[in-house]
Amino acid sequence: MKKTVIVKGMHCASCSSIITKKIKKLPGVEACTVNIASEKASLEYDPAKVTIDHMNEEIGKLGYSFVDQSASNEVNSQHAGHDMSMMPAGMDHSEHLGLDQSKDEKLIELEKLRKKVDFVVPITFLVFVLMMWELGSQAFSWLPRLPLPMALFNTISFLLATVVLFWIGMPFLKAVKRFAVYRVANMDTLVGIGTLTAYIYSSLVFLVPPIGDLLQASEYTYFDVTIVVIGFIVFGKYLEAGSKLKTGEAIQKLIGLQAKDATVIRHGKEIKIPIEQVIMGDILIVKPGQKIPVDGEIIEGITSIDESMITGESIPVDKKVGDIVIGSTINKQGSLQVKATKVGGDTVLSQIIKMVEEAQGSKAPIEKLADQVSAVFVPVVLVFAVLVLLAWILIGSQFMPLSQATTLGLLSFVGVLVIACPCAMGLATPTAVIVGVGKAAQNGILIKNAESLEKFNGVNFVVMDKTGTITKGQPELIDIKTIGDKSEKAVLQLLASLEALSEHPLAEAIVKKAQESKMTLDKVKDFAAIEGKGLRGNIGGKEYFAGNLKLVQDLNLKVDQAVIDGFSLQGKTPVVLMTKKNIIAYISIADTVKDDAKQVVADLHRQGIKVAMLTGDNQKTAQYIANQVGIDRVLAEVLPADKANEIKKLQKEGYRVAMVGDGINDAPALATADVGVAMGTGTDVAIESAGITLLGGQISKLPKAIKLARATMTTIKQNLFWAFFYNVVGIPVAAGLLYPFFGILLNPGIAGAAMAFSSVSVVLNALRLKTVKL
């Protein structure tokens, strides 16, 4: 069984590592991936061997818990009085309803945190200023000492530190207790041990003066360190929590698009019901301006539908009886009756939300290093901090008084514990992925997982299938070359009148052209289809023929070979209109290039990407199409089964290849490419072979997708660089590496502020992706 659950109690990347290790050890658990940014876990397990409750028993004692939102929703639905037993399996709409509940819970937690922040931040900044004043007065003779007597300052600091540590800092103390009992440590453990050590040392020196005399300690205590470290870190957690809420806005917006209720015909009456009670086969009434509740088929009415929420295109799409409509799109005009064909988790929007959620929760390969470091980071830092303290006492006392060495050792011990920040490393990748994938979804680009996003960033060769990707995939009438005195309009009227009675695919293109010109078709008598060649019919007492070159030969007529060759070179199919005695006109029909194909190829070239076209057409026809749009390489006369081999050839040349196709006959090639890009029609978005899906089948989204992938990976690399750089530089400085040379020792209060804002800066940098113009 696969399931995604909400994780509570996580504070840093080490937390996700702890949970993953504990859960994976349980029998029956096949996979567990925990995402610190989305605060969710993707589980794969055998429910016969282990349950969510069993997992919670294992991690609950460590301060974490899984919340199975789907189970909660079932309970909520029963409490709400919905008759869920009447609903067929797989049609429950509650799958995504829990996300709003989760956000509400987070807002409540954020409000609780804000109250703590309101109390502690003013105290923190006041104490921080006094701390800096005291340090400054020791370094600069022109700066006067604190106007407060030290005894009074220590008394006030002791009282404030006690409140801050045992109220605001209680989560850190609980982490220390869990470490002592279960030997499991995270970022809170480091902060807890550091601040508790500073508090206990200061309390002993302040409350029991003989101990201070024994240690030859100065009258200065470190209550201010406890206050400032906890204050800054809690403030940083508050800012980080607020920022992380914004990273998930894309999912919330998608959920907000869902219709909340529907009007259905039941027992001959129109009734309004909640959306989750709609079942397959229901007849829905949709009035102008209303959202279509679920996916369905129009059985009555004509209209135009605003599908911008799926495709990103603002132009409404005309719909008639028999056409498929997508749930949550907007009916712009005309009342409709729609038969529900997909409901609940099967609707297009639900699939999109699910795909985006899974992508946001997935891990990119670049994240593995950060995960490996985070897994051992906290234990290593703990050991290092103890070694630093011992080094100061044992080695430092050889060069300075023991009391001074102990004081500096204590400051370094606390500083190392406080400044070490696994959070920034843990948040570096997932926050950027969440924002990047969310922005892509809002622009009609579905990204299957973070791995596809990372690979897409490195693509330098794009292979496009011709039909339906570069071309429209629908035949159109292109040329009418008349022979004799008949006009093009007269020829089209004659030809369309004949073809209107035909079922041939090319006939549709001819009739469509006549309809666009608003022509009145002539009455045809004695119509007959000539199998494999064309057709004949009598119009106005005269017999006409329309068909291919075989039909021309049967009538013993001679074609203008130059015209036919000209059509063939351009990939056009010739149709000849004639009588038994002579040819009236040559007509060409072809699959035309999409309006935006040339611009897309130009945009890809500007991004440094080469473009190839893959087709089963002959070389000359393919080259003609390629020349129109500026293709670099033509792969022609390729059978569907050989498309994947062509991709492999490019990969052997050293290219990182993206394949763009329709996701059906191109499936092997899509799977073979480094990244498969499917041209989603808007009604079929769950294309397994592709890593990226362009909704609405719009090739113009391809350069945008690549631009966003590159921007996301740039952000990830920036975040990882600063997270690693911060720890690599900060920890040695906090340990006192610069003190023997420059007399510089990082104050733990400043270290706490730096650590808190390092996580915030990573999240804010990820949020910058929202401003990228595509």
Kind of pairing, strands 461-465 and 610-614? parallel
Measure the CA–CA gap between 758 and 118, rounded to whole angstroms. 21
Measure the CA–CA gap between 134 and 437, rounded to whole angstroms. 49
Which residues, 6+ apart, have CB-to-CB distance to 591 below 8 Å?
Answer: 467, 471, 472, 473, 474, 475, 476, 571
Q: What would the two tokens of residue 146 be?
A: 């604190």
Q: What would the two tokens of residue 154 be?
A: 């220590």
Measure the CA–CA gap between 675 and 690, rounded to whole angstroms. 7
Q: What would the two tokens of residue 153 be?
A: 């300052």
Measure the CA–CA gap between 103 and 301, rounded to whole angstroms. 39
Burial classification of residue 715, based on how many CB atoms lie within 10 Å of its CB (0-12 exposed, 13-18 middle, 19 or more buried): buried
Residue 495 has a CB neighbour count (10 Å cut-off) of: 25
Sheet holding 336-342, edge to edge: 269-274, 261-266, 283-286, 336-342, 295-300, 324-325
The distance of Cα 588 from the centroid of its chain, to the nearest Å, equals: 45
Residue 493 has a CB neighbour count (10 Å cut-off) of: 18
Q: What angle do CA 599, 605, 609 make, to 5 degrees?
A: 130
**Position 239, amino acid:** L
Measure the CA–CA gap between 205 and 202, rounded to whole angstroms. 5
The catalytic residue among 465, 617, 666, 674 is 465
282 is catalytic: no
Are the C-beta atoms of residues 85 and 213 closer than 8 Å to each other? no
Burial classification of residue 314, based on how many CB atoms lie within 10 Å of its CB (0-12 exposed, 13-18 middle, 19 or more buried): exposed
How far CA 21 is from CA of 31, 68, 177, 195, 598, in Å, comes to 10, 20, 20, 28, 51
Measure the CA–CA gap between 573 and 665, rounded to whole angstroms. 23
How far CA 52 is from CA of 26, 60, 70, 98, 103, in Å, comes to 11, 11, 12, 17, 22
Question: How far separated are the first and last CA of the chain, in Å rounded?
Answer: 38
Are the C-beta atoms of residues 91 and 281 closer than 8 Å to each other? no
Residue 14: its H or E element: helix 13-24
Measure the CA–CA gap between 424 and 13, rounded to whole angstroms. 8
**Position 508, amino acid:** E
Measure the CA–CA gap between 84 and 92, rounded to whole angstroms. 8
Are the C-beta atoms of residues 614 and 464 closer than 8 Å to each other? yes
**Position 138, amino acid:** Q
Q: How many residues can be counted in the chain? A: 774
Query: What is the DSSP track for 574-617?
Result: EEEEE-SS-EEEEEEEEEEEPTTHHHHHHHHHHTT-EEEEE-SS
Provide the H-helix boundaries in 91-149. 98-139
- CB-facing half-sphere around the CA of 95: CA atoms within 13 A: 21
Active-site annotation, residues: 465
